[in-house]
Amino acid sequence: MQYALFHLITGEAHDFILSLQHDVANKFGITGATRIQSPPHLTLKNFFEVGDVLKLEALVEKFCSTNTPAPYVLEGFGSFGHDVIYIDVIPTNPLQGLRAQLHQRLRKESWVQWSTPFDGIDSKLHASVAHTDIREEIFSDVWNFVNQRRPYFECQFDNIVIVTKDENEARSVCKEFSL
């Protein structure tokens, strides 16, 4: 089965992202972010095949139990071409350190696969607002719509969750760990 590692965004930032995803879906018919029913999150490790989820759980549990939360900020918007619109993550040095430690730890395991260019330590942390089905001809309208808002949220990186997806790509949290 395939699993991924996410950090769940909580509080007002969580509510803002969900609301904006639904506003974009309703106004423009862009349902990529809402269709997969993924909670607002930062992707730490993209989906990969895991034979024994207990090994992954033990790794994440140990990592979380030996580290402390780190602050970060969600502010403004960015995009990956015309495919993804996201809220930008302004990482702090402590968050960058945690992320680097997690990736180092995961890379020690031969059963952890790294399959995409968006899956490594150099991938851009972001919180997706719209993706997958943004048509190029309406991108600027969607961009202007989301930029009417000015998100700014001080957040805590205080959890890591193991997530799976079903045959319809809907995401489900399997297990949550607190830092």
Domains of the chain with bracketed CATH: 2-178 (3.90.1140.10)
In this structure, which amino acid lies at residue 71?
P
Residue in the block written with tokens 């992707």: 43
Kindly report, residue by residue over 115-167, the tens digit of the pLDDT: 766 677 778 899 988 876 778 888 999 999 999 999 999 999 999 999 998 77
Taking the C-alpha atoms of residue 100 and residue 103, their distance in angstroms, rounded to an integer, is 5
Whether 166 contacts 35, CB under 8 Å: no
pLDDT at 33: 53
pLDDT at 133: 73
Integer Rg of the chain from CA: 16
